[in-house]
């Protein structure tokens, strides 16, 4: 059976010990095993990273950018192989896996501009003969802890800006689909990255805790569930580290009476059920405004959902594939059970779905629940599966209140043709990422990604300029070159001012 090793100092490294199973979700069978590191393996990775980082930080930004350019090309050249490998372990269809990689690739492209992004500020003549300037310097060794649902995109969101800024990076990917992160590390070495700058250490909570506690790791980036995001943030901060920790979501799609319903339904179907709903930017709650809107939307949603095809990850006609594990499938089904117990109307039931020839796969057909209310736990929690819930409201203000008062504040979308309503909505809704007729409002790579409330812990977002700021620290220099012939020109024992 295939064994997935750690990647340290530019090569795969094996450590006999604990192993985790890596499943093929389409068939429900173990296809590989991944080594689960002990703290000693993390220490080894950090030691190598620390030794390599000093010289990498002194490499000029243009040369670091050239590595990113070469890395970008290698990802493009290997796109299909990477996507097929990703799909085999995650379960998402290959076309969706390619989208996963592409969104990460766009952050690599952003990092190619690092010479410009790292430029500081300069003021000549801030005082008599005094110039003031600032520079951005790397932190040293930093780490990223990434989830199963985007095994290419999210590691690239973190490691590309971190490495381009001159840091060394320790990546702890999900143990459920760990192969693509290792392959990306191999491609970075091929692109010219010095050995030791990127290290991949597989593991579970043992390694998560060790990363948070390690004195030589200066910053931690995390994406996962909100409870774990909060835990990592608190533990890393207690150890004196900089931390950005992105959590869960319950994104709302609000539909006004003037919305183009055909386009809206097409958008909602892709956002709710794409990738089997296993993404923090999925749209699992639709909020029609007015009963007339709700009735028309419901009818069109039912027709659209019934036309969706569930298939194996390599089926080019499938809209989505299996969920990641048997345990996660059971969790989703338990939330459907709960929603029914709470009084939701089960319109379409995805439980009990079986794909001929793949009966052991972790498949769920799309589920649609209507007449969901805000006090229901199934509404309050993140289900993270192919389940769409409809919450009916009478006014836009009521709908905005729903999204704004939810414990998560990750993403929200408004479907309308009314510019004034959209502008008011954008300003008033208390959510970090807003879409206007855009169902999945993930910012492009040169902006930054991040939610509010329990969707994000820390004061800096992922990638974009916030990523550059997160992985660097600013040094401010005030300089004077007096030309006084050796004579002291002033002496002061008070705080200097420009008085």
Annotated active-site positions, please?
Answer: 280
| Pairing mode, strands 252-255 and 285-288 | parallel
CA distances from 443 to 150, 305, 368, 384, 449 (A): 16, 27, 28, 21, 6
Report residue 423 as tokens.
Answer: 């502008």
Distance CA 339, CA 337 (A): 6
Is residue 96 helix, strand or coil?
A: helix
Helix axis angle for 179-190 and 153-164, nearest 10°, is 30
Residue owning tokens 């689960």: 36
Distance CA 242, CA 165 (A): 16
| Distance spanning both ends of the chain, measured CA to CA | 74
Cβ neighbors of 147 (< 8 A, separation 6 or more) are 154, 174, 223, 224
Q: Which helix (H) or strand (E) holds 230?
A: helix 226-238
Report residue 70 as tokens.
Answer: 């070469």
| Pairing mode, strands 456-457 and 452-453 | unpaired
Residue 286 contacts residue 321 (beta carbons within 8 Å): no
Distance CA 187, CA 77 (A): 11
Residue 434 contacts residue 400 (beta carbons within 8 Å): no
Q: In what order do the strands lie in the sheet with 345-348?
A: 345-348, 367-370, 387-390, 285-288, 252-255, 411-415, 433-436
Q: Is the dihedral of CA 451, 453, 455, 457 positive or negative?
A: positive
| Closest CA relative to residue 171, chosen from 161, 187, 156, 188 | 156
Kindly report the backbone phi and psi dihedral angles of residue 7, in degrees, each rounded to the nearest multiple of 5, phi listed first: -130, 110
């Amino acid at each position: 059976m295939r064994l997935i090793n750690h990647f340290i100092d530019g090569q795969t490294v094996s450590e006999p010990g604990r192993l985790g199973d890596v499943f093929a979700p389409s068939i429900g069978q173990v296809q590989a095993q991944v080594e689960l590191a002990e703290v000693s393996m993390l220490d080894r990775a950090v030691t190598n990273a620390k030794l390599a980082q000093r010289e990498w930080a002194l490499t000029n930004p243009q040369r670091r950018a050239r590595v990113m350019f070469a890395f970008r090309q290698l990802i493009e050249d290997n796109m299909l192989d990477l996507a097929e490998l990703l799909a085999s372990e995650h379960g998402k269809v290959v076309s969706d896996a390619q989208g996963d990689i592409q969104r990460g690739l766009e952050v690599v492209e952003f990092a190619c501009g690092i010479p410009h992004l790292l430029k500081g500020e300069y003021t000549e003549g801030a005082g008599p003969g005094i110039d003031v300037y600032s520079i951005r310097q790397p932190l040293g060794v930093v780490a990223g802890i990434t989830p199963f649902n985007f095994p290419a995109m999210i590691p690239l969101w973190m490691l590309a800006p971190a490495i381009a800024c001159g840091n060394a990076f320790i990546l702890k990917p999900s143990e459920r689909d760990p192969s693509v992160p290792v392959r990306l590390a191999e491609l970075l070495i091929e692109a010219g990255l010095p050995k030791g700058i990127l290290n991949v250490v597989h593991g579970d909570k043992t390694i998560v805790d060790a990363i948070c506690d390690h004195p030589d790791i200066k910053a931690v980036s995390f994406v996962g569930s909100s409870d774990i995001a909060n835990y990592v943030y608190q533990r890393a901060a207690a150890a004196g580290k900089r931390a950005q920790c992105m959590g869960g979501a319950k994104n709302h799609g609000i539909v006004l009476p003037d919305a183009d319903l055909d386009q809206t339904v097409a958008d909602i179907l892709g956002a709710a059920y794409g990738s089997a709903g296993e993404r923090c930017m999925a749209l699992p709650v639709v909020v029609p405004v007015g009963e007339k809107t709700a009735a028309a939307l419901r009818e069109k949603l039912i027709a659209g959902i019934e036309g969706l095809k569930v298939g194996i990850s390599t089926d080019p006609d499938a809209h989505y594939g299996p969920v990641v594990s048997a345990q996660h499938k059971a969790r989703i089904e338990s939330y459907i059970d709960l929603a029914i117990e709470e009084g939701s109307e089960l319109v379409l039931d995805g439980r009990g779905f079986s794909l001929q020839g793949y009966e052991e796969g972790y498949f769920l057909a799309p589920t649609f629940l209507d007449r969901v209310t805000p006090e229901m736990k199934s509404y309050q929690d993140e289900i993270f599966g192919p389940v769409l819930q409809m919450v009916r409201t009478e006014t836009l203000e009521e709908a905005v209140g729903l999204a704004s008062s939810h414990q998560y504040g990750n993403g929200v979308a408004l479907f309308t043709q009314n510019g004034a309503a959209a502008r008011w909505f954008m300003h008033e809704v208390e959510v970090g990422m807003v879409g206007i007729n855009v169902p999945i409002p993930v910012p492009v790579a040169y902006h930054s990604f991040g939610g509010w409330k329990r969707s994000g812990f820390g004061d800096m977002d992922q990638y974009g300029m916030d990523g550059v700021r997160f992985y660097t620290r600013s040094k401010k220099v005030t300089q004077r070159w007096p030309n006084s012939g050796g004579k002291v020109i002033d002496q002061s024992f008070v705080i200097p001012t420009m008085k």
